[in-house]
């Protein structure tokens, strides 16, 4: 597995790319539609800032042996917070996002080795070690950068991110019996067996991940079946497999099923 320092560095680089794109947007540009239904670009920035704040709380919880306050469990309140932040002027909203990401990186840089193994609980109730928060943050940054619709495409995703996100996604789909026989990333030299039945698909890794995550159409895939006959990928992302358990008392729906 990649080192924690390496994962933090990946987050820093991804955050720099995202915030540079965000800083180039005017107020008018922020009010334009994003790649997500019913959300403007401002909503995407507001959501990501709120997610970074949540990740800070998770790291502080792991550091303090779970004595830190948890994020409120009310989905309506979280949605309201996104709406409020999305209404901010461009410079103010970008500043809020920068501050949230900087706090997260600071928390990550100052975590002890032991704290990284502490278990935390995601909004939807899935538990995971604190280090996995770094992967969640990177996934949000890369996915929502595409959602901004400012020229950043799945082809711009780093190969390292595509490789582990694909591996994790396909492990989850295999556990669910998703009807794909085989998936081959033509540029990564990787093949995954998913299920004994169903079609096989092949494409560059970023195209595959774009399809599984709902960010790219199926017409970029090659398959031994008609593309119109391919199964529809489920809501993405899926919980990590084999995973670390689930807290059934915290199983409310996420605000957005895209990160």
Mean pLDDT of 234-258: 71
Q: In angstroms, rounded to a whole number, what is the distance separating the alpha carbons of residues 231 and 183?
A: 13
Tokens standing for residue 157: 């995703």
125 sits in the region (left: phi over 0; alpha: psi -120 to 50; else beta) called left
Mean pLDDT of 243-259: 59
70 burial class (0-12, 13-18, 19+ CB within 10 angstroms)?
A: middle
Q: How confident is the model at residue 70 (pLDDT cuts 50, 70, 90)?
A: low
Q: In angstroms, rounded to a whole number, what is the distance separating the alpha carbons of residues 215 and 229?
A: 19
Q: How confident is the model at residue 256 (pLDDT cuts 50, 70, 90)?
A: very low
Rounded to two decimals, the pTM is 0.92
Query: Domains of the chain by range and CATH?
Result: 4-156+242-250 (1.20.120.450), 159-229 (3.30.1050.20)
- Structure confidence by residue, pLDDT tens digits, 115-144: 999 999 988 889 999 999 999 999 999 999
Helix (H) or strand (E) holding 203: strand 200-203
- Structure confidence by residue, pLDDT tens digits, 194-214: 987 899 999 999 999 999 999
Percent of the chain with pLDDT over 90: 80
Local structure of residue 124 (DSSP, 8 states):
T
Local structure of residue 216 (DSSP, 8 states):
S
Phi, psi of 176 (to 5 degrees): -90, -5
Q: In angstroms, rounded to a whole number, what is the distance separating the alpha carbons of residues 96 and 99?
A: 5
Q: How confident is the model at residue 254 (pLDDT cuts 50, 70, 90)?
A: very low
| pLDDT value of residue 249 | 62
Local structure of residue 249 (DSSP, 8 states):
G
Between 25-29, 48-52, 193-197, 221-225, the lowest mean confidence (pLDDT) is in: 193-197
Q: Is the dihedral of CA 243, 198, 159, 187 positive or negative?
A: positive
| pLDDT value of residue 68 | 47
Mean pLDDT of 10-24: 98
Tokens standing for residue 159: 């190969």
| pLDDT value of residue 230 | 95
């Amino acid at each position: 597995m990649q080192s924690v320092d390496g994962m933090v560095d990946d987050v820093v680089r991804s955050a720099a790319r995202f915030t540079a794109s965000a800083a180039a947007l005017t107020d008018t540009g922020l009010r334009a539609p994003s790649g997500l239904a019913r959300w403007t670009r401002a909503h995407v920035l507001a959501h990501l800032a709120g997610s970074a704040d949540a990740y800070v709380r998770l790291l502080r919880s792991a550091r303090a042996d779970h004595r830190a306050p948890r994020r409120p469990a009310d989905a309506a309140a979280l949605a309201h917070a996104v709406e409020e932040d999305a209404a901010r002027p461009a410079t103010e909203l970008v500043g809020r996002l920068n501050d949230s990401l900087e706090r997260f990186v600071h928390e990550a840089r100052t975590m002890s080795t032991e704290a990284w193994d502490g278990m935390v609980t995601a909004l939807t109730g899935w538990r995971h070690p604190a280090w996995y928060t770094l992967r969640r943050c990177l996934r949000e940054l890369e996915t929502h950068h595409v959602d901004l619709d400012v020229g950043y495409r799945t082809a711009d995703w780093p190969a390292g991110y595509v490789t582990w996100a694909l591996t994790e996604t396909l492990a989850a789909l295999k556990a669910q019996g998703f009807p794909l026989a085989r998936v081959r990333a033509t540029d990564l030299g990787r093949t995954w067996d998913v299920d004994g039945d169903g079609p096989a698909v092949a494409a560059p890794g970023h195209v595959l991940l774009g399809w599984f995550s709902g960010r790219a159409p199926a017409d970029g895939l090659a398959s031994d079946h008609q593309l119109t006959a391919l199964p529809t990928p489920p809501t993405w992302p899926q919980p990590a497999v084999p995973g670390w358990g689930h807290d059934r008392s915290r199983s409310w729906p996420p605000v957005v099923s895209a990160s």
